[in-house]
Structure 1
Amino acid sequence: MDLIIRNASLWCEGETRCTDIGIGDGKIVAIEAALQAGARERDAETCLVVPGLIETHIHLDKTCILDRCRIAEGTVAEAVRETAAAKRNFTTEDVYARAKQTVERCISHGTMRMRTHVELDPGIGMIGYDAIEQLKRDYAWAMDIELCVFPQEGLTNYPGTEELLIEGLRRGARTLGAAPYFDIDPAAQIDRIFAIAREFDVDIDMHLDLAETLDRMQIEYVCRKTEEYGWGGRVAVGHVTQLSLLPPERFNAIAMQLANAGVAVTVLPSTDLHLMGRRQDHGIPRGVVPLEPLRAAGVTCSISTNNVLNPFTPYGDGSLIRMANLYANVCHVSRPDHLAGCLDMITSDAARLMRLGDYGVKLGAPADLVCIDARSPTEAIATLAQPLWGLKRGRPSFTRPRPMLHGPG
């Protein structure tokens, strides 16, 4: 045994219990009170210890480009247009340097696993992929990064894009993305994505139904394709802002359809709040899907960041706890168990979405641990509690000291 974490508060079956965690060879080898062993020690001071936070949906390749873009309309179309223009000047070195800034912010806030979407099309080629692939290697000491290749600007209407997606999959990308609402034929893109995913035996993570009206909604079609291909548990959809516009009866019917098909849902609060509701001058819709009814129906759900400091989201600091708190505010989450569920959606539920079988505070799992300055998940989300330190495979990955107050005298 190399290290013992003393006085760790773990959340188990709706309550916290204080225990010690033994770590050896980068894995958790003991979880018990008053652990007796000879090893270095670190005191968690009864703070909440959770497995490393998980970012299920982020875009490292186009982060930190606000200085190159103009935001006048605040719409999805403008964001894609401005980003496409900026992409023409991307280099591998540039993408790497910007993505590095965001990755380091995420690490400092407790994120230890990440799925990043990488745009591939003839306009940028493999530049973004090359940069993020190198970043993945360089930051493996603190974070496991999974690449999801996807066609932001269309697939059936952008010749050459499919070949690049396939190249990315052949080079090791584990997930295939999509953005049907920017294709001339959304259903044709969805069909092709499922066919390619089956050919390469990879998971699917789609940008879907990001709109302010119910026109051309594709969620039910994606559920049918998931069942047709037997891809349940391997498909996730992000945004789905159109779901937030539905009356309860249809919303609940789709919730059951998602659960039965095995399609997971990721909400991206910061982006969806920024982009949606631009057409209205009053009674503005929020565009953020309430996840508690979906979770109650059996749908796997996660909360994630999406974009940082670009036309899609002109803010962000890489904090998943902040994102979970933002979601809770927007969706009127107040019950203690539902607030605790917000932490699940950036930890255990996010791990289920990404099919991470080795995840958790359990014997034999990697010692990927984050100590949060709170006593329970409810408190962590409600108070925007800060991660104090983290271990990646038993090795320190970041430390964030508590603030000190200097009173009079």
Structure 2
Amino acid sequence: MDAVIRNATLPDGRQGIDIAIDAGRIAAIGPCLPVQARQQFDAEGDLVTPPFVDAHFHMDATLSYGLPRVNQSGTLLEGIALWGELKPSLSQDALVERAMQYCDWAVARGLLAIRTHVDVCDDRLLAVEALLEVKRRVAPYLDLQLVAFPQDGLLRSPTAFANLKRAIAMGVDVVGGIPHFERTMADGAESVRLLCEFAADKGLRVDMHCDESDDPLSRHIETLAAESNRLGLHGRVAGSHLTSMHSMDNYYVSKLLPLIREGGVAAIANPLINITLQGRHDSYPKRRGMTRVPELMAAGVDVAFGHDCVMDPWYSLGSGDMLEVAHMGLHVAQMTGQQAMRACFDAVTQTPARILGLESYGLEEGCHADLVMLDAADPVEAIRLRAARRMVMRRGEVVAESPRAVAKLALPGRPSQADFRLHRAGQA
């Protein structure tokens, strides 16, 4: 074998597991595997998981913080205005350089698959060309999926649909949309119909910014689910944000949830951004802003968490850490039950992998040997600590390593260090 990881704990709770790796894939997995390998790694009982997956990001804007100026208010509207000011001065080289730096951060965090939306309302399609180049460069170590995103509105922007079709022809993977940004509700519904019909004709996936609003009457997710059902797009459609659902009345939601499930539509929440940009017109009580994650999960809908933004016109923070995203999602959704917390870990690993259609993802024989060893004993501890990535592996090769998070102490009569993990009395 090329490599073997010994004594790992898996996300499902199995302990003392060995993972044998050959030719970039998992060759065997189980306790005490009788195999020899060129490289051996001791997990020491720590958690080994498939890599993190970000189902919703904007790489064309990432790391542009401060360009052309800082978003002083931190609001969505000032961010949109800033992006409009920045777009005319964008250069392809700068876009590529910032995106490549972010991909470095992602790999260091064990984030090896990203779905990023790219604005197609610039007739130059400069950002599309830049991110296609980034996708080519990072392909050996990161799966980058591009969404053609008509950010100024498909019908509101005169050349948006033509540009979207051009972007798809150039190699962009997914059809995007933003129906709530159209001038009227009718135009929003029409944009959903047009885009879903185009995706169905081309055999493509769909991922729409949908109802990113505090308005409970913004109900384009209803149209998206109905179109998915009508066109047979089940399992290929995602609605991102869906923040208006946090303001809808419960009776309407009781009708909406089965429709979303029947349409095979996934939901992608963006906890860090939804909690900061929504509810800005409220005084008190102030709405949280994130969509109904527990209710969607209970209805059988696939729900993933996305990072959305890192140091761009809309969000001044972030570092590519999907455990930070899961941590915020857990708190905002009040998902502190044991199974609920593990569902939040799934929302940044296996669920977005399924939404993106990643092949050979997982911890079974034959899957790609894409693995992350975390300084944690289980998924809940990983979220609590935003655990250090002891090792990140892509196709069986180590691509990043980080030391354990340990602080040295100089306290009389106390241990010489603290690692922030729970050590019970009487345990080693």
Smaller-chain TM-score range? over 0.9
Q: Distance in 1 between matches of 2:98 and 2:324?
A: 21
Contact 1:178 1:193 in 2 (8 A): yes
Supply the AA of the counterpart residue of 2:348. Answer: I
Offset at residue 70 of structure 1 (A): 4.2
Q: Please, which runs of 5 or more residues in structure 2 have no aligned partner? A: 411-415, 417-428
Alignment of 1:169-180 (within 5 A): 169-180=168-179
Aligned residue for 2:194? 192
One of 34, 37, 40 as aligned partner of 2:35: 37
Q: Give 1:128's aligned amino acid.
A: A
Aligned twin of 1:350: 352
Contact 2:132 2:171 in 1 (8 A): no
Q: Single out whichever of 125-134 and 75-84 deviates more from structure 2.
A: 75-84
Q: How does 1:1-400 map to 2 (within 5 A)?
A: 1-12=1-12, 15-39=13-37, 40-68=39-67, 69-123=69-123, 125-184=124-183, 185-400=187-402
For 2:403 and 2:140, the matched residues in 1 are separated by: 21
- State the Cα deviation string for residues 274-333 of structure 1 (Å, max 9, x = none): 211111222111101231221111100100100111222221111001100011111111
> 2:48 aligns to what SS in structure 1?
strand
CA contact (8 A) 1:339 1:382 kept: no
Counterpart of 2:425?
none
Residue correspondences, number: 406
* Contact in 2 for aligned 1:234/1:262 (Cα 8 Å): yes
8 A contact 1:266–1:304 mirrored in 2:
yes
DSSP-derived class of the 2:11 partner: strand
Greater Cα offset, 247-256 or 318-327: 247-256
- Give runs of ≥4 in structure 1 deviating > 4 Å: none
Q: Give me the whole-angstrom Cα distance separating, in 1, the residues matched to 2:97 and 2:382.
A: 31
Q: Letter of the aligned partner of 1:109 in structure 2?
A: R
| 1:16–1:376 contact (8 Å) kept in structure 2 | no
What is the distance in 2 between the residues matched to 1:251 and 1:371?
39
- Deviation digits for residues 140-181 of structure 1, max 9, x if unmatched? 232111111110011112222222211221122221111112
Q: Secondary structure at the match of 2:407?
A: coil
TM-score, normalised via structure 1 length: 0.95
Per-residue deviation, 1:222: 1.1
- The amino acid of 1:374's aligned partner reads A
Determine if contact 1:11/1:17 at 8 Å carries over to the other structure: no
In the alignment, residue 101 of structure 2 is paired with which amino acid?
Q
Report the alpha carbon displacement of residue 72 of structure 1 after superposing the two structures with TM. 4.4
Contact 1:305 1:320 in 2 (8 A): yes
* 1:251 to partner: Cα distance: 2.3
Would you say the 8 A contact 1:371–1:387 is kept in 2?
A: yes
1:218-253 CA deviation, whole Å, 9 max, x = no partner?
111111111111111111011111011123333232
CA separation in 2, counterparts of 1:101 and 1:320? 17
Partner in structure 1 of residue 413 of structure 2: none
* Distance of 2:314 and 2:256 partners within structure 1: 27
SS of 1:225 mapped into structure 2: helix
3-state SS of the aligned residue for 2:117? strand
Contact kept in structure 1, 2:388 and 2:405, CA below 8 Å: no
Work out the CA distance in 2 between the residues paired with 1:296 and 1:404: 38
The one-letter amino acid of 2:98's match is R
TM-score by length of 2: 0.91
Aligned mates of 1:73, 1:187 — CA distance in 2: 31
Task: Call closer, same or farther: CA 1:218–1:373 in 2, change over 3 Å.
Answer: same
Report which stretch shifted further, 267-276 or 209-218: 209-218
Question: What is the CA–CA distance in structure 2 between the aligned matches of 1:32 and 1:245, rounded to whole Å?
Answer: 47
Distance 1:11 1:323 in 2: 18
Query: What is the alpha-carbon distance in structure 1 between the residues aligned to residue 333 and residue 404 of structure 2?
Result: 30
Alpha-carbon distance in structure 1 between the residues aligned to 2:192 and 2:364: 38
Q: SS state of the match for residue 180, structure 2? A: helix
**Alpha-carbon offset, residue 73 of structure 1:** 4.5
Contact 2:7-2:45 within 8 A present in 1 as well = yes
Tell me if structure 1 keeps the 8 A contact 2:360–2:368: yes
Contact 2:213 2:244 in 1 (8 A): yes
Query: By how many angstroms is 1:94 displaced?
Result: 0.9
Report the 3-state secondary structure (helix = DSSP H, G, I; strand = E; otherwise coil) of the residue aligned with 1:163.
Answer: helix
Structure 1 spans left out of the alignment, 5+ residues: none
